[in-house]
Amino acid sequence: MQEEKDIIENVFTKASIKSFEEQINTVPENYFNQFPAQILSKIQQKKKPSLIIQLGKFSIAAAFLLIVAGSYFLATIKSTKENTSIAIHEIPTEEIDSYVSNNEWMIDAEMQSEINKLGLNLEENKQSKDSID
């Protein structure tokens, strides 16, 4: 080590090497006293995400929730529809019969109105045929 130092000091002199080191050692006042606190505050700042990042994260979370909720809603509607059509097929015949007998008067009324309509049509047809003749 000393041999290496001697070579360097022979070339440049001890004084100039010392002077270079003095130039390097010159720092602003209190620099080293303030440095640890300065670093810690930078680390704290890095830990806290900025408002934009926070909002960004929030909006991503909201969009995700919306997609999940929407998909669930659509799936529920679809399954309800499927359940309904299955239910019709599965209604027992006795139940249909009882529904019909209970609502017979309605069916009669519907049939009567259909007959009336047909009668009117027939009469109109007859009249038009007579006028042609």
Binding site for another protein (CB under 8 A): 1, 4-5, 7-8, 11-13, 15-17, 19-21, 24-28, 31-32, 35-40, 42-43, 46
- How far is the C-alpha of 26 from the C-alpha of 31, rounded, in Å? 10
Minimum distance from residue 24 beta carbon to another protein (Å): 5
Beta strands in the chain (DSSP E): none
Taking the complex as a whole, how short is the minimal distance between the CB of residue 60 and another protein, in angstroms? 24
The residue among 3 and 133 lying less far from another protein, judged by its C-beta, is 3
CB of 25 or CB of 131, closer to another protein: 25
* Per-residue exposure over 89-116, b if at least 16 CB sit within 10 Å of its own CB, e if not: eeeeeeeeeeeeeeeeeeeeeeeeeeee
